[in-house]
Chains A and B, each alone.
Chain A
Amino acid sequence: MTEEGLRIRGLTKSFGGVRALDRVDLTVPMGQVHALLGHNGAGKSTLIKCLGGAFPPDSGTIEVGGRAYERLSPRESITAGVAIIFQTLSVVDALTVSENIFLGQEWTRYGWIDRRAQEEVAAGLLERVAATCSPRDRVGELPMGQRQLVEIAKALSRSASVLVLDEPTAALSTAESDALAERVEDLRTQGLAIVYVTHLLAEVERLADAVTVLRDGRVAHHAVGAGQRRRDLVAAIAGRPAETPDKTPDKAPVGDTDTTPRATTSPAAHVARGVGPSDGGLVLEGLRGPGFGPVSLTVGSGERVGLYGLIGSGRTRILETLYGRRRASGGTVRVGDRTVAAARPGDALAAGIALVPADRRRQGLFPTLSAHDNALLPAVRPLSRSGVRALGAERRVFDALAGAVGLRPARPRLPAGSFSGGNQQKLVLGRWINDTRGIRALLLDEPTQGVDVGAREEIYRVVRSLAEDRGTAVLFASSDPEEIVELADRCLVVAGGRVVGELSGAELTEEALLSAVHEASDVSVSADVSVSADVSTSADVSGISDPSDATPAHQQSVTAEGAV
């Protein structure tokens, strides 16, 4: 118990003036599971990446197995005994299980790979993690849960002493999640120090010996021992003092609302603004597609509605389907009185629906092209006259939108890639705030991901003014409760590809959102624990059962482009 597997002291890391980590301490003794919580941008990923050697910390020390490091290279991290299992696994699909386990440390005999010896050892390792696959199975053909176990087996083969699991259940079915929890318990008894990153409080309650909550790069809460009070954790994640929220989290409406989810579709919000479904806003009726639905919702003209949910909840899919990036399998979408069946983004745009995607680098930006080209791209053709670009008009539109979004520097010829993240996002957003395309409904996915605080405020201001001054219907997805509270008039909680709750007005608080989404996710976890997998319900309830939503965007883009 005294032997310390991992001890992090005073770890600090800044990115361009923003402190991603600020003097973070974290100690995980051998044979313990330490849960790491905090919402997106709180610093969890940065912490893990410093540990894995991807980033050099600015200051602080990382002690692994009694040896202190000021910075680790990826190789040093592995030899020191750190193994990190990322959400996007790093197994090679084309290789077999045993080939994956021994990748880079192959056993050879006379220069040839000793396949039989590898497979024997691999079988032993697989047994240790209770995987059911065979060493000869091709990894690409295995379910997500098994792939994850293969990666853990690989970590064990390198005699890792510190195991970091980054939201390991996000891409797993509920049955797989439960199996994984047992494996984690086994590995704890085998003496590993385990850092367990999660959003799900049920997992914390079941597994964690200690908890650290990060917020804005600092340790916001730390507690040792079982019996974590859920409300303390929620308060720490949301950044409120633990005393006050006595009422709010208990009032979390989801438990009640999931019986009457859409009955509460607050008409008050519409009435207050004097808007209704027929006023030119966005209306979804029973929209469904792979991994989500049916979803019905209304965004009035000039209204800002947030979609709050965890990774895999389906929020991105809903937006992408609305925009024609994915094909809907049923339901209708209306903008104003016009029904839209968008088979491709061009169709959605023609109907006045635009999307600002979440993955700016892959889906939004043209880094080597100028700011002018980036912001004006969809406007160049509408502005052109008899096939020739109207350079003067383009320039006027650029100046207007650069002023409206507060682009800095407002230099049209500068390559977009040389702008800061916030200003890049302004360029992508700026595409849709000129009159040339007549946007009536604006969809935003994680509108301020990778954006500094100042630019975040400006983006909120732009979105607000779009809604208020132009009557644009705004529907945005976010995993950041702070952002939802800041920007939304009304919020729909999404889990398992469905709207499971709605919050507006005074009840729309960070605590309420956090409880809501954790309750919603816990429903699936506990349902699975109590009754052994009623397939239909678990598929419906659990947003985390759909692995493809968690695949990185670049993989999606490849398949989607081939498909469209």
Chain B
Amino acid sequence: MTTADSVLVRPRALAVGGLGTLRRHPLILVLAVMVLVFQVSTGSFLDPANLRGIATDAATLAIVAVPLALLVISGYLDLSVGSTLALGGLVAGWLAGQGQSPVLAVLGGLAAGAAVGAVNGVLCCYFGLSAFIVTLGMLTAVRGLAQQLFPLPLSGFGPGFAWLGGSRIAGIAAPVVIAALVLVAGALFLALTPAGRHVFAIGVNREAAYLSGISIRRTPFALFVVTGVAAALAGSIKASVLDSAVGGTSGAGFELTVLTAVLLGGVALSGGSGSVLGVLLGVLFLGSLQNGLTLLDVPTFWQQMAQGTALVAGAALAHFAPRSAR
């Protein structure tokens, strides 16, 4: 009666393992089959070096996908993350290039991301405008702002700044460590904080949440800001890895890739349901797909077609499969 009982209230996001998890996340099976196919056909997919490559590529995706997933669960959406990623990377890189300390440079980038997130958040949560429209507009506007501020590509950020993307912590690439922290923080937030419960409640039924006395604006607003910060962090990491940032192209299309990962991970676009484990699976799926197809020398256009098809197929499966207890 003791452990079993605490398991009963153990929130879903913490539940890892067991058949129930498999039923809720059929993507696990798909991922496993895909990995097997890639390993057999390439012979090198599971090499440690290749796995490290996948993890590093997927890290920036995961860092943004987690807060974006929380936002989607609470019934909102952020399409502006690709442009915010560019702006954050540019600001951080520029500050570093100006000789600022790398820490200050990254903080500057994050502040730019927070500002974008705050604008999104005020317009969507406090003024009640449609998140789709607001963040679609911001996607374009922030891209324009980034190019206006930094018309020329930036590079030469210095060795200190390169640490963010290139260093290893206990043998693991720093971006992967950061992504892992973000994933764990996201899961703990959903499972163990009151605000985590509120995110679900607001996403399922805003009116009922409001009538339960929950502040239905503060939490989603904070999530917009966090998403902006996360996008800027991802941008800083990319700028650090590449030692360059370009206003016109950095993070172009990134918003759709992140959203694809989030939706593949089983987060409902209508809000109210989703888990961090699912997001992790979605991110790993996209990362593995891209990597494996590249190893097989599949042309980029085919890769894009595969990615898109996967999303639609996933949605079709979820739609037609008998709905298991959520």
Contacts and interface: CB of A to CB of B under 8 A. Distances in A.
Interface of A: 323, 325, 344-346, 348-349, 355, 357, 362-369, 372-373, 376-378, 380-381, 384, 387-389, 391-392, 394-395, 398, 412-413, 415, 431, 437, 557, 561-562, 564
B128 interface: yes
Contact of B211 (A325, A367, A372, A412): A325
21 contacts: A345-B210, A345-B212, A357-B208, A363-B211, A364-B211, A366-B272, A369-B201, A369-B204, A369-B272, A377-B209, A380-B197, A384-B194, A388-B193, A389-B191, A389-B194, A389-B197, A391-B6, A412-B8, A413-B9, A561-B216, A562-B128
B325 interface: yes
A373 B194 contact: no
A357 B211 contact: yes
A387 B193 CA distance: 6
A372 B9 contact: yes
A387 B192 CA distance: 8
Given A365-B205, A377-B197, A389-B193, A395 B212 contact: no
Contacts of A412: 8-9
Contacts of B319: none
A387 B198 CA distance: 13
B208 A362 contact: yes
Contacts of A388: 192-193
B127 to A, nearest CB: 9
A365 B206 contact: no
B211 A355 contact: yes
Contacts of A437: 213
Contacts of B5: 395
Interface in B1-26: 5-6, 8-10
A217 to B, nearest CB: 30
A377 B210 CA distance: 11
A415 B326 contact: yes
Interface of B: 5-6, 8-10, 128, 191-194, 196-198, 200-201, 204-216, 272-273, 325-326
B201 A373 contact: yes
A377 B214 contact: yes
Contacts of A346: 213-215
Nearest to B325: A415
Given A345-B213, A415-B326, A364 B208 contact: yes
Nearest to A383: B194
Contacts of B273: 368
B129 to A, nearest CB: 10
A25 B26 CA distance: 53
A258 B210 CA distance: 37
Contacts of A387: 193-194
B310 to A, nearest CB: 25
Contacts of B10: 391
Nearest to B10: A391
B212 A378 contact: yes
A363 B208 contact: yes
Nearest to B273: A368
Contacts of A368: 204, 272-273, 326
A371 B191 CA distance: 16
Given A362-B207, A377-B201, A394 B212 contact: no
Contacts of A366: 200-201, 204-205, 208-209, 272
A373 B213 contact: no
Nearest to A553: B207
Contacts of B214: 346, 377-378
B204 A367 contact: yes
Contacts of A357: 208, 211
Question: Which 3 pairs of residues, A with B, have the shortest CB-CB distance?
Answer: A381-B194, A349-B213, A557-B207
Given A384-B194, A391-B192, 14 more contacts: A346-B213, A349-B213, A364-B208, A365-B208, A366-B204, A366-B208, A373-B197, A377-B209, A380-B194, A389-B193, A395-B9, A398-B9, A415-B326, A561-B216
A355 B212 CA distance: 8
Contacts of A392: 6
B79 to A, nearest CB: 22
A365 B205 CA distance: 7
A374 to B, nearest CB: 9
B206 A561 contact: yes
A394 B6 CA distance: 10
Contacts of A344: 210
A212 to B, nearest CB: 37
A348 B211 CA distance: 10
Contacts of B272: 366, 368-369
Contacts of B206: 561
B208 to A, nearest CB: 5
A415 to B, nearest CB: 6
Contact of B9 (A345, A364, A391, A564): A391
Nearest to A558: B207
B44 to A, nearest CB: 43
A529 B211 CA distance: 41
Contacts of B200: 366, 369, 373
Contacts of B196: 389
A494 B270 CA distance: 40
Contacts of B216: 561
A345 B208 contact: no
Contacts of B128: 561-562
Contacts of B326: 368, 415
Contacts of B191: 389
A531 to B, nearest CB: 42
Given A373-B197, A431-B212, A363 B207 contact: yes
A190 to B, nearest CB: 43
A351 to B, nearest CB: 11
B247 to A, nearest CB: 37
- Output the residue of B193, B204, B207, B214 with the most chain A CB within 10 A: B207
Contacts of B208: 357, 362-366
Contacts of A367: 204-205
B193 A377 contact: no
- Output the residue of A369, A378, A415, A437 with the most chain B CB within 10 A: A369
